[in-house]
Structure 1
Amino acid sequence: MKPQEIEDLSFKIIEKEVGDHSFSDDQWPIVRRMIHTSADFEYIQTIRFYPDAVQKGIQAIQRGCYIITDTNMARVGIRKKEIHEFGGNVSCLIAEEAVAKKAKEAGSTRALAAVDMACEQMEGGIYVVGNAPTALLRLIELIKEKKANPAMVIGFPVGFVNAAESKDELMALDFPYITNKGRKGGSNIAASIVNALAIMAVEAR
């Protein structure tokens, strides 16, 4: 089978197993791609969408926004073709020498320092967290302080220390987000959401 045939068949299997659901027409492609990426149907129960977050993400991509990730794994997993069609860019600052220096001086994580360094770039863009709760918590702080203003936040840190708590903080924020309840997440899941948004951005042209 060709790659597209495999993907199409996978989606049909997912839709058959899920059956009826309450997701909107713009939410379901995201949830379906998350399940396709992870084979984890639990995301149906745990995913959370801020009202209009999907449209905010699609519009940002169509404007050619910056998409900034907290890990290079998420950056690599994002489809560049659709993003580049709109003049957008995908980047990750975690390995930058200036970020490492700032983190060492501040005694913080590189993920946190990378958020600080990305404030200007993320204006009107999408910040994608697929690993580090410290990155998401810092981003929430900066948004509250009006020092950062992305179009939306994709928050899927994974793990046992502050992963669930950071997502709860995001859900308490009156700001466009896509996230989930609990410890699960990861760079692959976060990237899959950007990919779903990018495909919808192309389709909506």
Structure 2
Amino acid sequence: MIETIRPQEIERRSFEIIGEMLQGHPLAPEHEAVIKRVIHTTADFDYADNLVFSAGAVEKGVAALRSGCDIVTDTQMARAGINKTALARLGGQVHCFMSDPDVAQEAQARGVTRAVVSMERAAALGRPCIFAIGNAPTALLTLYTLVEAGQIEPALIIGVPVGFVNVVESKERILTLPTPHIVARGRKGGSNVAAAICNALLYQITR
């Protein structure tokens, strides 16, 4: 049966349906808002099991946003999906260096991906950042190397690239770090998932 529902009620009703469908699948209270928003974005209930949270990851991510940290993404799609108005109210902004001409030139000259150079650029920002990676496993691998070398201390790593080459392996490396992280284990993920997680954290402060 087709429901007649006002536009402003669609999201509320969607979350009601998600809650109903998750009955019998208890979620940790601190993770619930993130998991439900990812499911709302993807209509994929596998994320109730696939999302892995380090201890206190949500709390630490919210605290970082509340203190005005920035967000770094690996795609313009993720950047577009993050609620930049909400982030700006907290004093932060979103960065994506992937389309910068000088990043492309340097990557070509060095024989590396733009994701590698982009993460190095982000490390040079000199301010607290959440990294939301939804596409490029090389971005996660570079973050891992930078963290291990002590060159960067992310406030949170959201590791949700989608695909087949180095995707699982890059996520598993992030899971070994002491850095706060939220990772979609396995091959699933995407820029929309990265943005959804960022928004789920933002909405705990701004709504």
If the TM-score is normalised by the length of the shorter chain, which range does it land in?
Answer: over 0.9
1:26 matches 2:30: yes
Do the aligned partners of 2:154 and 2:179 also contact (CA within 8 Å) in 1?
A: no
| Distance in 2, Cα, partners of 1:147 & 1:3 | 46
Identity of matched residues, % = 43
Which amino acid counterpart does residue 162 of structure 1 have in structure 2? N
Aligned to 1:128: 132
Do the aligned partners of 2:78 and 2:192 also contact (CA within 8 Å) in 1?
A: yes
Aligned residues: 203
Which amino acid counterpart does residue 120 of structure 1 have in structure 2? A
Report deviation, 1:86: 0.8
Report deviation, 1:47: 0.8
Of 15, 20, 34, which aligns to 2:19? Answer: 15
Report deviation, 1:20: 3.6
Which amino acid counterpart does residue 63 of structure 1 have in structure 2? S
1:72 matches 2:73: no
Of 168, 177, 180, which aligns to 1:176? Answer: 180
SS in structure 1 at match of 2:30: coil
Do the aligned partners of 1:51 and 1:176 also contact (CA within 8 Å) in 2?
A: yes
> TM-score w.r.t. structure 2 length?
0.94
| Distance in 1, Cα, partners of 2:145 & 2:126 | 14
Do the aligned partners of 2:68 and 2:91 also contact (CA within 8 Å) in 1?
A: yes
Which amino acid counterpart does residue 116 of structure 2 have in structure 1? L
Aligned to 1:39: 43
SS in structure 1 at match of 2:123: coil
Aligned to 2:150: 146
Report deviation, 1:56: 1.1
| Distance in 1, Cα, partners of 2:171 & 2:206 | 29
Report deviation, 1:194: 0.1
Which amino acid counterpart does residue 177 of structure 1 have in structure 2? H
| Distance in 2, Cα, partners of 1:62 & 1:3 | 30
Which amino acid counterpart does residue 174 of structure 2 have in structure 1? L
| Distance in 1, Cα, partners of 2:27 & 2:53 | 10
Do the aligned partners of 1:131 and 1:156 also contact (CA within 8 Å) in 2?
A: yes
Of 77, 101, 105, which aligns to 2:109? Answer: 105
- Residues 95-152 of structure 1: CA distance to partner in whole angstroms, max 9, x if unpaired? 1122112101110010111001110326421011000000010011101101111101
- Structure 1: gaps spanning 5 or more residues: none
- Structure 2: gaps spanning 5 or more residues: none
Do the aligned partners of 1:46 and 1:182 also contact (CA within 8 Å) in 2?
A: yes
> TM-score w.r.t. structure 1 length?
0.95
| Distance in 1, Cα, partners of 2:172 & 2:54 | 13
Of 54, 57, 62, which aligns to 2:61? Answer: 57
